[in-house]
């Protein structure tokens, strides 16, 4: 019923791809596809190594949250001001 793809079918597929996308876009598309594959591979490797790390036996001691700074624009330090975030008092008694 199904047969293997022969050289004529491969040539026909390549011809259709060149006609659809154009010869100028193909190298750019191949580069972006390679970059995406590298990113996917590195993310998968990071997730795998993250899963292999053992969790600490003792939970870390609670530390007060550090003051954060809100900036009006990236790099604009003239209008920076420290921000204190409200604490959740519903669970503390």
**pLDDT tens-digit series, residues 48-89:** 888 776 555 565 667 666 666 655 666 555 655 565 666 666
CB 81 within 8 A of CB 70: yes
Q: Which residue has the higher pLDDT, 57 or 14?
A: 14
DSSP assignment of 27-57, as one string?
HHHHHHHHHHHHHHHHHHHHHHHHHHSPPPS
Global pTM value: 0.38
Q: What is the pLDDT of the chain when averaged over all its residues?
A: 75
pLDDT band at residue 27 under the 50/70/90 scheme:
confident
């Amino acid at each position: 019923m199904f047969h293997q793809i022969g050289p004529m079918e491969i040539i026909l597929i390549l011809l259709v791809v060149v006609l659809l996308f154009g010869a100028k876009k193909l190298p750019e598309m191949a580069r972006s596809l390679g970059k995406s594959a590298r990113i996917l591979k590195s993310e998968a490797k990071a997730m795998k190594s993250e899963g292999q790390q053992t969790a600490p036996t003792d939970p870390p001691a609670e530390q007060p949250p550090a003051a954060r700074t809100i900036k009006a624009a990236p790099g604009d330090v003239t209008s920076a001001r420290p921000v204190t975030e409200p604490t959740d008092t519903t669970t503390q008694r």
